[in-house]
Amino acid sequence: MKCPNCDLENLESAIKCDCGYYFRTNKIEKKSIDKIQKITVKSIKNIYVTGLIGFTIIGLIIIIHSLIKSFEGFLETGQILNNLPLDRFLLGISIILFGNLIWAVICEGLTLLLKIYEKKG
């Protein structure tokens, strides 16, 4: 059976076409995806905040760990600058800065894609 709305071939036993046309009532179902998209955009915002908190906590843990190691070295040698694990310290700062930046770009990109989809849908 050919759909009168989109000309797609369907099975004779089909109730509805992929385009939303109901064969028995001869009506097109409106796609109400607004609620789904609002939930999805809201979900992306929640995921963004969760990732933001996660990257910050991980970065702080690494920074604190490097400072603890530095303090332990200071207790042994009396020189704090020679014992600072600079690579770990910079890694923690990099995770906080760049991890959150990249995460923000990813989440904004997903939000933008959903808005584009909403305009087309």
Span 24-78, pLDDT tens digits: 888 877 655 555 556 677 888 999 999 999 999 999 999 999 888 888 877 777 7
The whole-angstrom distance between residue 116's C-alpha and the CA centroid of its chain comes to 16
Dihedral pair phi/psi, residue 2, rounded to 5°: -95, 135
How many alpha carbons fall within 13 Å on the CB side of residue 54?
A: 9
Sign of CA dihedral 30, 34, 35, 41: positive
Span 84-119, pLDDT tens digits: 778 888 999 999 999 999 999 999 998 888 888 767
